[in-house]
Amino acid sequence: MGEWVIGAFINIFGSVAINFGTNLLKLGHNERERLALQDNGGGKMPLKPIIHFQTWRVGILVFLLGNCLNFISFGYAARSQCASEVNSVMARLDRHVKDA
C-alpha cells in the first residue's frame, strides 16, 4: 500500500463531509424560511440572519472541514486517483441508498 491509499481515504471522508455540510446548510435555510412563515401566520416577515441558526453554523464548519480534507488528500495522492476513487465509492453508496 502506498501513500495514494491514504490520500484516497482522506479524500473520500472529505467528499462525504462536503456533501453532509451542504445538506446541513440547506436545512438551515429551510428552517429560516419555515420560521419566517410561522411567525407571521403565512405571510412573509423579515428573515433573521442565517448565522443565528445552529444547523447552518455546523453545516458551514463541516463543509469547510471537508474542503480542507480534500486539499490535504492531494498531498498524498494525485488528483486523478482521488477523483476516480471517490466517484466509484459515491456510485456504490448512491446505488445502495436507492435500493433501500
Q: What is the pLDDT of residues 42-96, one digit of tens each?
A: 566 678 899 999 999 999 999 999 999 999 988 887 766 666 666 676 666 666 6
**Per-residue pLDDT for 14 more than 90?**
yes
Indicate the range of 21-25, 34-38, 77-81 predicted with least confidence: 77-81
- pTM of this structure: 0.74
* 24, 58 Cβ separation under 8 angstroms: yes
CA distances from 16 to 11, 19, 56, 96 (A): 9, 5, 17, 15
- Domain range spanning residue 63? 3-99
> How far is it, in rounded angstroms, from Cα 96 to Cα 87?
14
What pLDDT does residue 90 have? Answer: 64
If one counts the domains in the chain, the total is 1
Closest by CA to 28, choosing from 75, 6, 61, is 61
**Per-residue pLDDT for 100 more than 60?**
no
Indicate the range of 11-15, 24-28, 44-48, 57-61 predicted with least confidence: 44-48
CB atoms within 10 A of CB 56: 20
